[in-house]
Amino acid sequence: MKAEHSRRQILKFGLAGALAAPLVTGRALAQASSDFPAELKLDWGFYSSHTLLIKNKGWLEDAFKDVGTKITWVQSRGSNNSLEFLKVGSTDFAGSAALSAFLARANGVPLKVIYVASWGGSSIIQVRPDSPVKTVADLKGKTIAVTKGTAPYFTLVRALDQNKLSIDDLKVVNLQHPEGFNALQQGQVDAWVGIDPHTSQAELAGDRAIFDERSWRDGSVFSVSEEFLAKHPKAVERLLGVWVETQKWIRENNREFIDFVTKVTGNDPKITELTINKRDWKDPVPGEELLNSIRIVTPLLGDDVLRPGISVDNVLSSLIDPAPAKKVLGA
């Protein structure tokens, strides 16, 4: 009954509450065709539990059914994947770490951050149980696996800076999150920086964390291409209506959410619970807190990540658009 009730809530919010959508008949069809695209494309990943829920429940398809918009899901393996899809037009929306979205915009991707999907983080620097590496300082000269351009990479940069080291003091192996996890388990690297559910899996397997970024309130954000936002603002609002109701459902149905993610991913329930309970699903409107969480990292970024001559303040001033989320939330 809870799932059906949630479906009705999301339909109500998506179809009536957010937009008062037109009926798909006669003149309304012409109106719908201009307000809503024929197709809406976005990414999903096993690391993104809320999009996993929305995709599997069909809540987005339900919300756009009356206007005939086709929903196309593209699987992503991390922020770099997701933002590359947006850059080349394979998707209209992208889920990523906030800093990754900033870098994409700084490097020419015309996007706007419109929503904070969750706060907190799970980027952890981990080593094997028997590793001689005890602290971040011990990483000097060691080999570490990480995905460049993602939250774990920036976690590593910040941790090194706190210990008077830089990325040049290590041998960095650029691997996607699952491959980085496997490389650590197989002894191919000395350390790894990753995201959940892999970090929770490693934790339960006995791997040791030498640095945990959960004390930093970083945002996992949702971005849209500027072109799509300009052409289809009502579609953006309707989509965010689904996101808002999904976050509410997650907060109110934590146990059911954990059970769902466990079933879909096939992960150990303990891994799922660790992963989900690290996140804060409140405060979704992007604002100064999000921008400040990005600003404090930018001085640490090398030329290989942030192009020389880029004005950080100019990029930050144009990065977010809180208006769609505020409208949907009635804020």
pLDDT exceeds cutoff 90 at 175: yes
Q: Could you give all domains of the chain from N- to C-terminal order, each with its CATH number?
A: 2-119+218-329 (3.40.190.10), 124-215 (3.40.190.10)
pLDDT of res. 33: 57
pLDDT exceeds cutoff 70 at 20: no
pLDDT of res. 207: 94
pLDDT of res. 16: 39
How does pLDDT run across 56-85, given as a tens digit for each residue? 999 999 999 999 999 999 999 888 899 999
More confident residue, 112 or 26: 112
* Cα 155–Cα 315–Cα 173 angle in degrees, nearest 5: 30
Chain centroid offset of residue 15 CA? 25
Distance CA 54, CA 47 (A): 13
How does pLDDT run across 290-316, given as a tens digit for each residue? 999 899 888 888 787 888 889 999 999
How does pLDDT run across 247-286, given as a tens digit for each residue? 999 989 999 999 999 999 888 898 888 888 878 888 899 9
Q: HSE on the CB side for 8, CA within 13 Å?
A: 5
Q: What is the mean pLDDT of residues 189-202?
A: 88
pLDDT of res. 215: 61
> Does residue 129 have a cis peptide bond before it, meaning omega lies within 30 degrees of 0?
no
pLDDT exceeds cutoff 60 at 153: yes
pLDDT exceeds cutoff 80 at 233: yes
How does pLDDT run across 107-146, given as a tens digit for each residue? 999 999 999 998 876 688 999 999 999 999 999 999 999 9
What percentage of the chain has pLDDT greater than the value 70?
A: 88
Contact partners, residue 1, CB within 8 Å, separation at least 6? none
pLDDT bracket for residue 2 (50, 70, 90): low
* Strand-pair partners of 192: 126, 145
pLDDT of res. 6: 53
pLDDT bracket for residue 155 (50, 70, 90): confident
Q: What is the mean pLDDT of residues 22-40?
A: 61
Are 263 and 56 spatial neighbours (Cβ–Cβ below 8 Å)?
no
Integer CA distances (angstroms), 49 to 58, 60, 257, in order:
14, 15, 9
pLDDT of res. 195: 82
Q: How far apart are the first and last CA of the chain?
A: 30
pLDDT exceeds cutoff 50 at 9: yes
What is the β-pairing status of strands 93-97 and 219-225? antiparallel
Beta strand ranges found along the chain (DSSP E): 39-44, 70-75, 93-97, 111-119, 124-127, 143-146, 171-174, 191-194, 208-212, 219-225
Q: What is the mean pLDDT of residues 192-218?
A: 83
pLDDT of res. 152: 87
